[in-house]
Amino acid sequence: MRALVVGNAEGLDPGFVGERLRRRGYAFTECVREDPDDWPGLHGIELVLTLGSEWNVYRPETARLVEAEAALVRQVVARDVPLLAICFGAQVLAHALGGTVSRSPAPEIGWFDFPITGSPIATGPWMEWHDDVFTAPEGFAVLASTDAGPQLIRGGRCLATQFHPEATETMIRGWLAGGGAEQYRRHGGDPDALVAATRANVERSQPNAEALVDWFLDDVASR
């Protein structure tokens, strides 16, 4: 089975989510966000996975690239191809289908638990790392929220998470090394403490991510 994974050139690792999808029989074709002209069509594609990004949906400097991804999302939905959208991917989905995306009053960075309805997946721990919030498009159910906004939405054969079920310790270390440590400190966080919390939490978040993928494939995508 063939899946498209959409991410930035430096952020195409689907982590725990990708590992589970591969074990469920999927092979990936990678689509680099910066090069939409090189993306293949959807012929033969049975699933699309859109990943997080340092970008913002509303920035003019990336508007053309965001609109290319939004057009892909609309095509995926029109063709009824299952879509799993993570963080920035979820924001693009909201933007593409009539929801809104805006700056959050405060970023959510770290490990969070929150109530989830209409799903068998765990309430946490889930990794959050985002500056923006979105509203769910019409026809989507909000299954989980924090004070900042929706965290899990479902509509048709689409599932979108504001959190990062794919996050591994290697990823978090990379985000911190890539400028995230300064951002985290600005908001009162200790990068070393975040790494330690990550090392402890991935023992639970990995099986949680696997359960999320299984639920997506067996329930959302198979409807």
| Look-up of token digits 């879509």 | 83
Q: Annotated catalytic residue: which of 31, 158, 164, 210?
A: 164
Mark residue 25 as left, alpha or beta (left: phi above 0; alpha: psi -120 to 50; beta: remaining): left
Q: Would residue 164 show up in a list of annotated catalytic residues for this protein?
A: yes
Contact indicator for 32, 68 with CB cutoff of 8 Å: no
**Catalytic choice (31, 69, 87, 210):** 87
Choosing from 69, 108, 128, 166, the catalytic residue is 166
Phi, psi of 29 (to 5 degrees): -105, 120
Contact 108, 142 (CB under 8 A): no
Half-sphere exposure of 117 (CA within 13 A, CB side): 7
Contact 27, 201 (CB under 8 A): no
Strand partners for 134: 101
Backbone CA torsion sign across 118, 120, 78, 103? positive
How would you class 46 by CB atoms within 10 Å of its CB: exposed for 0-12, middle for 13-18, buried for 19 or more? middle
Asked about 87 being catalytic, the answer comes back as: yes
115 close to 78: Cβ distance less than 8 angstroms: no
- Tell me the catalytic residues: 87, 164, 166
